[in-house]
Amino acid sequence: MNLTVIVDLLLLALTLVALWFGVRLHSLLRAGELGRAWQFIVFGVISLVLKELLRLGNQFMPVPGTVFMERVAEAGFMVLLCYALWRQWSAFEFLHGRQRKRTRWDRVAKSFEALSEREYEQTQEGQETPEKEWREQWYRKA
Model pLDDT, residue 8: 86
Query: DSSP for the chain?
Result: --HHHHHHHHHHHHHHHHHHHHHHHHHHS-SHHHHHHHHHHHHHHHHHHHHHHHHHHHHHS--TTHHHHHHHHHHHHHHHHHHHHHHHHHHHHHHHHHHHHHHHHHHHHHHHHHHHHHHHHHHHHHHHHHHHHHHHHHHHH-
Please report the pLDDT score of residue 129 as a whole number: 61
**How confident is the model at residue 13, as a pLDDT?**
92
How high is the pLDDT of residue 130? Answer: 65
* pLDDT of res. 23: 86
Boundaries of every domain in the chain: 3-141
pTM (2 d.p.):
0.57
**pLDDT value of position 75:** 92
Q: Average pLDDT per run of 10 along the chain, which is 142 residues long?
A: 85 90 82 77 89 86 86 91 87 67 67 72 63 65 58
